[in-house]
Amino acid sequence: MHIVEVITGGEPGGAQRHVSELVTYLVEQGHEVAVIHGGGNWLSQKLRDKADVYYLSHLKRQISYHDIRAFRALRELVRNLSPDIVHAHSSKAGILCRLVGWQDKIPVVYTAHGFVFLDSTRSIWSRGLYRFLETWGARHSQGIITLSEADLEFAKNAGSRGVIRKIPNGVAVRWNAPGRRLGLRRNIGFIGRFSPEKGLDVVLEAAAMTSEWRWLIAGNGVLPSKLARRRAELENVKWLGWVDNIDQFFQNVDIVVQPSYKEGFPYAVLDAMAWGLPVVATPVGALPEILGQVDPHLLSAVGDAGHLIRSVRFAFDHYESLANASYELVKARYGLEAQLRQTIETLSLVAHP
C-alpha cells in the first residue's frame, strides 16, 4: 500500500510516538509511507531515512483562519502523493483529512487518540464545536480506530458507515518480571506534557499535602502562573524536565500517577506497568479499562487531590501484588506487535475492500 500518515504536530507526545512506531513497522513490512505534520522536529528526526516527511506551516492545533490555508495545502499535497489511503491522527488533522477525502474520493482512516470534546478543561463552546466536527467526520470516514470503549461507543453512535475498530496502544514488554520492591523513601512519579488536561495542578496539590513523600515530575511545557508559583514553594517536588532516558525515570520512582482530566490511551501508563510499577490515575479515556483489570482502587476521582493521595496509599499498602499484576496484564494484553498488526489489517481492509 501507499499510505499517507497525517498528524497535526510533530513535537514529542503519545500520538506522535504512535505514528513513529507505526510508520517504522509499515516500512519494514514493505509499504510506501509519507508523513505530513504541522511542525516540531521530534517526529521528523524519528522518521529520518524511513519515510518522506512533509511540513505544513498552517496546520495548527487551535481552530483559526489558518485552517483554510492548511486545508488547501493538505489537499494539494495529498493529490500529488496519490496514496491508496490516508491515515489521520489528532483532531485537527482528522477533520481536515476527512474533508479532503470526501471531496477527492480518497479513503481515510482516522485514529482517535481521545476525543477533544471530552476534555473538561476546555470551554463549552470549544467542546460543542469539536463534538459537531467529530460527528460530521465520523459520517465521512471509511474507517475509525479508537483506543477506548468510550470513544468506540461515540464512533458507533455518530452514524459512521465505515469500519470501526478498537485497537488499544501497545508497548514492548520484557519477558522477565522486574520484581519491584519498595525502598524507605516513597517516590511518586509524573511524566507528561505540562498541559491543562494532564492534571498537573492535582499533582502539585497532592504534593503540598504529603511532605513525607517525594514527587518526581518529568516533562515539558509552559506552566500557568499559578502552578509556576507553587513550583517554587514545594521542597518535596523535583522537576526533571524532559527525560530522554525513560527507563532511568521508572527506575527512580515507586508509583506513577496520571490524574488527567482527558485521555486517550496514555503510553506513560503502559510503560510504567511494563516496568512493574503500580499506576494511579483518573477514570477517563481507556484508563478505567486498564487499571480496572488490576484493581479499581487505583482509580481516583477527577480533580480530587485527596482521593489521589488515598489511592496512592492503597498502592503502597498492596505494592508487590499490584506491581506484579500490572506487569502481567501489559505483557498479556497490550503488546506492541499486536497493535501494529491490527492497525495494518484495518488500513488494508479500507484501502482494498
The 10s digit of each residue's pLDDT in 174-186 is: 777 676 777 767 9
CA distance 55 to 132: 28
The 10s digit of each residue's pLDDT in 266-313 is: 999 999 999 999 999 999 989 999 999 999 999 999 999 999 999 999
pLDDT score for 83: 97
pLDDT score for 177: 67
In sequence order, what DSSP letters do the residues of 142-180 get, joined into one string? SEEEESSHHHHHHHHHTT--SEEEE----B---SS----
| Domains present along the chain, CATH in parentheses | 2-170+335-351 (3.40.50.2000), 187-333 (3.40.50.2000)
How far out from the chain centre does Cα 160 lie?
Answer: 23
SS3 88: strand
